[in-house]
Amino acid sequence: MTRQTLFAPIEHCQQAKVWLYGQIVTVYDQGFAFHWESPETTVRCGLTQLANGRQFMWVSTDGALSGPEVIAAYGFRVKSELTFGTLIHLIGGLAYRFWLKAMTTAPSWPKNLNLADYPESVQGRILANVDAMERLVNLNAMALGILQGLALALPTWFWSNFPRWFRTLPQHGYPRERIVQLVLQHQAQEIFLRSPASLLLPQFLAAKLIPQKSPDTLPLTA
């Protein structure tokens, strides 16, 4: 069976309207269910065609989703990839290093992920370690969402306070997360001065910052 004979003519397929890549698109879908690696587990497979003749195949492990729903979800993959890229490279959301001193150091990621196989004395610490990782990722995702929300709500303010030179502005007029981050860093002192005294963030940052020594207190060098 070739690819040409695998896809049925579009007049024999189910037709649906799907929000795909920012617009409503008509798709022609063939859906199947078959077993995958297990007689108890089934997956959904689809053969989808667009009006322009483009064809693609998909597989979903969620049998509750219809073909058009899977296609619409697939269309968000670009946004998901960009979000993860920004979360990793700008926020550092996945740059965590939580290790357990109670466990033997391993040269790579542990192959055995079954919690019950580890001693009971360290199982609680493993769970706490995983919880710390998830909390860190969630907090960084919230920080990314705040940057995006500020960019949508106050684009003019961020562009007017951008501390660097920018040759051209994007046509949509909204700054990227990196631009928002730079402006907030540059305007941090003024923002904190206008903030309520009870705000915890300035107190938290002040406790973390190392006080700078005056020139008179610096040691002399030969």
89 lies in the same domain as 171: yes
Query: Which positions of the chain have pLDDT values less than 50?
Result: 215, 218, 220-222
Which residue(s) pair with 76 in the sheet?
Answer: none
Q: Are 114 and 136 in contact (CB under 8 A)?
A: no
User: Could you give the CA distance from residue 106 to residue 181 in angstroms, rounded to a whole number?
Assistant: 36
Contacts of 214 (CB under 8 A, 6+ apart): none
User: Could you give the CA distance from residue 175 to residue 125 in angstroms, rounded to a whole number?
Assistant: 42
Structural domain that includes position 183: 80-104+113-195
pLDDT tens for 124-139 read 888 988 898 899 999 9
Q: Is residue 138 part of a domain?
A: yes
- Angle (CA) 207 209 214, round 5°: 120
Predicted TM-score (pTM) of this structure: 0.65
Q: Is residue 220 part of a domain?
A: no
pLDDT of residue 222: 40
Residue among 105, 184, 21, 4 nearest 175 (CA)? 184
52 lies in the same domain as 150: no
